Amino acid sequence: MTSFSYYSHHEHPRPLAVEGGIEARSRRGAIGETWWSRRFIELLESFGVGSRLKRGRNYARAGQVIELEIEPGVVLAKVQGSRYSPYRVRIRGKVLSEYQWRRIEKAMAAQALALAKLLAGDMPHDVEELFAACKLTLFPRSKRELTTSCTCPDAENPCKHVAAAYYILAERFDEDPFLIFAWRGRDQDELVERLRARRAAGGRGGGSSARSARVPQPSEPGPPLSAVLESFWSSGPELDAVHVSPLAGEAPDALLRQLGPAPVEAGGRNLAELLAPAYATLAQAAERRALAE
């Protein structure tokens, strides 16, 4: 007699086991470690597909997604279901036009902190505001901007196979936030190159009047260092009105990363790479000193 233990219910066959599938790192609770991947999942749930998404969470954690590729405007995945051949999933999003990307890159390059974070491989917290200022969105703003399909016979959309791909996609965004931009039509290398070019162009200024305005005016020479050693590290009355945060920044070496590789190497390593740990150590020491720890 044929055994039907393969099925938990007649209408819900268990998926075939997969070896070497892409398993979600999260084993319980919500999926998504960074604010941007959680934001992506929250937006999907706000589209009214939250209950359907949860059906794919077990698939994602069991490693049923066996392939996932991100290309401009489309995510392609293969998800193993109950049939021998994996189901093919497509998640289509809107690719931003070249004109729209130029507007966003201009806005990013104008914000020093956001630019430093992006060049350091991090996602600025205000990136959505930068997109909004350009009348655009980082993520799809509605269900209409997402078109999903799956070769499974399930009539619901998204099915559990699409949902599983969504969760693995969110974790891919955790690993590399630039994949969000790649999905929207701009890969990391091109985006970073364009941002650096814009920053460099902005730093050069534009004309003789701008250059002359930056020429420092001569001032009276100060006392020699040997005469002010006791008060060298003391702040004068001029700094009483200056208020700064005592906390170290999230990326102490952001300036090094923004400038890129230095033209000097030591021991086979670039000078900027060697200096980065020193910047982090100095920032932490300054924070402890400021907080009197």
Among 174, 166, 66, 71, CA closest to 121: 174
Chain-centroid distance of CA 196 in Å reads 17
Residues 162-172, mean pLDDT to the nearest whole number: 93
Q: Is residue 285 part of a domain?
A: no
Average pLDDT over residues 18-37: 82
Domain count within the chain:
1
Q: How far is it, in rounded angstroms, from Cα 187 to Cα 238?
A: 47
DSSP for 69-91, written as a single string: EEETTEEEEEE--SSSSPEEEEE
> Average pLDDT, stretch 60-68?
93
Query: Element (H or E) spanning 7, and its range?
Result: strand 7-9
Tokens of 111: 């914000």
Residue 169's contacts (CB-CB under 8 Å, 6 or more residues apart) are 40, 68, 70, 75, 77, 91
| Residue 281 belongs to some domain of the structure | no
- Asked, for residue 139, whether it belongs to a domain, the answer is no
φ, ψ of residue 91 in degrees (nearest 5): -125, 105
pLDDT of residue 150: 94
For residue range 178-236, what is the model confidence (pLDDT) as tens digits?
A: 999 999 999 988 998 998 888 877 655 444 443 433 444 555 666 777 777 777 777 66
Percent of the chain clearing pLDDT 70 (strictly above): 75
Residue 266 confidence (pLDDT)? 79
Give the pLDDT of residue 4.
37
Residue 292 lies in a domain: no
Please, what is the Cα angle at 118 between 116 and 121, to 5 degrees?
110
Residue 21 CA to residue 60 CA, distance in Å, equals 9
Residue 18 lies in a domain: yes
- Model pLDDT, residue 245: 57
Q: Prior bond to 221 cis, omega within 30?
A: no
Segment 104-152, tens digit of pLDDT: 999 998 888 888 888 887 888 889 999 999 999 898 888 788 889 999 9
159 CB-side CA count, 13 A: 17
pLDDT tens profile 253-271: 666 665 667 777 777 777 7
The verdict on residue 99 lying in a domain is no
**Model's pTM, two decimal places?**
0.64
Position with higher pLDDT, 168 vs 231: 168
Domain membership flag for residue 197: no
pLDDT band at 91 (very low <50, low <70, confident <90, very high): very high
Q: Could you tell me the residue range of the domain that residue 173 belongs to?
A: 7-92+145-185
Query: β-strands 74-79, 87-92: how paired?
Result: antiparallel
Q: Tell whether 122 is covered by a domain.
A: no
